[in-house]
Amino acid sequence: MSKRANGEGSVFPYKDGWAGYVWVTTPEGKKTRKWAYGKSREETHEKWLKLHDLASKGPVPTKHPTVAAYLTQWLAEVVKPNLEPTTYVAYEPLVRLYIIPGLGKKRLDKLTVRDVQGWLNSLTALCTCCDQKKDHKRPEPKRRCCSRGKCCESYPSRSTITGIRSVLRAALGNAVREELISKNVAALATLPTKSKAKSKRTKRHALWSVDEARRFLEHVKAKDDPLYAAFVLILALGLRRGEVLGLVWDSVDFENSELWINHQLTRVSGQLLHRDTTKTEDSENSSVPGPVAAGRCPL
């Protein structure tokens, strides 16, 4: 057996190869050994040096969850209690239907840029109907494709793939902050430029002119439509539907002719939520000046 190099310390022959350990501090503040193994002394020594360097920079986790376990925990403990309900509703199906089936079995600290890149590339040719067995879940008379051996080629759009990568990047970014991993591999992966998803041609509707909008408001006012004031706010001030529906009387200052946009009504999982936040910070931090009494807001 050859002599260990100067300063090598805890590297020694072990079974059919070599082993080494470094004393590290875990994210929980506990002192413990972190092990490195290799078939040769040189291989083990190189791993030991990297581990020693990692330990000198801060806490080092000794237990690593799978991608599936971590993302499930992240959704439950970070996203759901701290972000908007609509954010959780948007993130959860992307994690459940795409990320976990594709990368869930990988160990979090072993996930590489190549793993993520290969998976992202595969999404462009993944029929979600076949993969998620959507057709099998339909009643027998309504089954029409993959349950009958026909692929409907329901590929995810580029915007869907972008959203999936964004969710994974957000989750791994949180893992970096928690010092579970050293880098965000999703941020380093390249988004595929093409998708096999069939482009849906949407009919373009002509925008109303000022005169057309005025005639519409005159019509609904003459009909004594209860939503007249809402239509005025949407057309004249450009408010979103949720912002108009979320308005409360405390948001209206008739004396100074000001309207404060600081609430929003949204539907999440079948429930209506009246929140004291708006979609953008600009909406929340601004007021709309001018006469706001019903029937007095000019175009």
Residue 2: inside a domain: no
Helix (H), strand (E) at residue 274: strand 271-275
How many whole angstroms from its chain centre is CA 23? 36
Does residue 37 lie within any of the structural domains?
yes
Position 241 in a domain: yes
Rounded Cα–Cα distance for residues 176 and 108 (Å)? 11
Structural tokens at position 247: 């308005």
Q: What is the pLDDT of residue 144?
A: 82
Domain span at residue 121 reads 67-188
Task: Write the Ramachandran bin of 89: left for phi over 0, alpha for psi from -120 to 50, otherwise beta.
Answer: alpha
Amino acid occupying residue 152: C
At residue 1, what is the residue type?
M
Q: How far apart are CA 207 and CA 196, in angstroms?
A: 31
In this structure, are residues 46 and 71 in contact, taking their beta carbons and an 8 Å threshold? Answer: no
CA nearest to 113, candidates 173, 195, 187: 187
What does the pLDDT read at residue 298?
34
Confidence category of residue 160, pLDDT binned at 50, 70, 90: very high
Q: What is the pLDDT of residues 245-285, one digit of tens each?
A: 888 888 888 888 887 887 777 776 677 777 666 555 554 44
| E strands, the chain, in order | 11-14, 17-25, 31-38, 252-253, 258-260, 264-268, 271-275, 287-289
pTM score, two decimals? 0.62
**Cα of 229 vs its chain's centroid, Å:** 36
Quote the pLDDT of residue 28.
76
Q: In terms of pLDDT, which residue wins out, 277 or 124?
A: 124
- Position 204 in a domain: no
Q: Looking at residue 296, what is its pLDDT?
A: 36
Given a contact cutoff of 8 angstroms between Cβ atoms, the answer to whether 211 and 139 are in contact is no
Q: pLDDT higher for 192 or 171? A: 171
Q: Are 22 and 10 in contact (CB under 8 A)?
A: yes
Predicted pLDDT at 7: 40
Which ranges of 67-157 does DSSP label H, i.e. alpha helix?
Answer: 67-74, 80-82, 85-94, 100-103, 113-123, 128-131
Question: How far apart (Å, rounded) are the C-alpha atoms in residues 40 and 45?
Answer: 8
**DSSP for 44-78?**
HHHHHHHHHHHHHHS---S---BHHHHHHHHIIII
User: Average pLDDT, stretch 53-63?
Assistant: 80
Does some domain include residue 62? no
**Same domain as 177, residue 133:** yes
Quickly count: other Cβ atoms within 10 Å of residue 247's Cβ.
Answer: 21
Q: Are residues 79 and 181 in the same domain?
A: yes
Structure token pair of residue 160: 């869907």
Nearest-angstrom CA–CA distance, 274 and 284:
14
Mean pLDDT of the chain: 82
Looking at the structure, do residues 72 and 139 belong to the same domain, yes or no?
yes
> Encoding tokens for residue 95?
């994690």
- The number of folded domains in the chain is 3
Q: Are residues 220 and 135 in the same domain?
A: no
Q: Does a structural domain hold residue 166?
A: yes
Residue 184 has what pLDDT? 96
Determine phi and psi for 11, rounding to 5 degrees: -120, 130
Helix/strand/coil for 210: helix
- The whole-number pLDDT of residue 85 equals 84
Average of pLDDT values for 88-97?
93
The verdict on 84 and 177 lying in the same domain is yes
Q: In terms of domains, do 16 and 48 share one?
A: yes
Helix axes 67-74, 158-177, angle to 10 degrees: 90
Question: What pLDDT is stored for residue 37 in this prediction?
Answer: 86
Residues 125 and 224 occupy one common structural domain: no
